[in-house]
Amino acid sequence: MHTLAERLRREIRNVPDFPKPGIQFKDITTVLKQGPLFREVADALYAQWSAERIDKVVAIESRGFIYGAVLAYRLGAGFVMARKRGKLPAQTVSMEYALEYGTDTVEIHADAIQPGERVLVHDDVIATGGTAQATVALVEKMGATVVGCSFLVELGELRGRDRLSGYRVTSLVTF
């Protein structure tokens, strides 16, 4: 018998040098396409947060939307998209964050989260944690409470978890 983490370690495809040289891209499409495994991952992600009262799942563009939506469904929570600049059509609130070179911006619809709501942040992969950290900061700027952060994959060496200290952070497999 292999644990889910062991199977994910084997099934998630590593694509070297994508999208640029030196990056080891963790491709979850090899998991998504397998019916039983797709469901098992959904159930495991849900189990990590099922004891919490969560009003909204804020999912990070774009692969975070996949299990973010499943998590919202299972938790009985609303689903909110955190997107790159200029993608959301209505009024937004935004948070800028530093990249290795330059900056990026994450946006959420201004009416998507109410003050006092309990929010779970979700993405497929946590690498440096910069995107998740900015999303957490944005949710808090909107007056909501971040209950924690859920990821499928954690890249341990990049220590993204350290940027989310003080929050409960979960993942299903660490590379």
Active site amino acids = 63, 100
Give how many residues touch ligand AMP by CB under 6 A. Answer: 17
Q: What amino acid is encoded at 131 in this protein? A: T
Binding mask 155-174 for ligand AMP (x = CB under 6 A): x----x--------------
Distance separating alpha carbons of residues 168 and 161, to the nearest angstrom: 9
Q: Which residues of 65-82 are buried (b: 16+ CB within 10 A; e: fewer)?
A: bbbbbbbbebbebbbbbb
129 belongs to the binding site for ligand AMP (CB under 6 A) = yes
Q: How far is the CB of 131 from ligand AMP (least distance, A)?
A: 3
What's the closest the beta carbon of residue 60 comes to ligand AMP, in angstroms? Answer: 5
Contacting ligand AMP (CB under 6 A), which of 57, 125, 136, 169? 125
Residues 62-121 binding ligand AMP (CB under 6 A) are: none
Among 5, 10, 13, 25, the residue binding ligand AMP under the rule CB under 6 A is 25
Q: Is 26 in the site for ligand AMP (CB under 6 A)?
A: yes
Name residue, tokens 């491709």.
27
CA distance 149 to 161: 10
Cα-based distances in Å from 83 to 105, 120, 135, 137: 8, 16, 10, 14
Least distance (Å) from ligand AMP to the CB of residue 93? 19
Taking the complex as a whole, the smallest distance from the CB of residue 1 to ligand AMP amounts, in Å, to 28
Sign, Cα dihedral of 94, 96, 99, 101 = positive
- 163 neighbors 130 (Cβ within 8 angstroms): yes
Considering only 58, 60, 66, 106, the residue that binds ligand AMP (CB under 6 A) is: 60
Binding residues for ligand AMP (CB under 6 A): 23-26, 60, 123-132, 155, 160
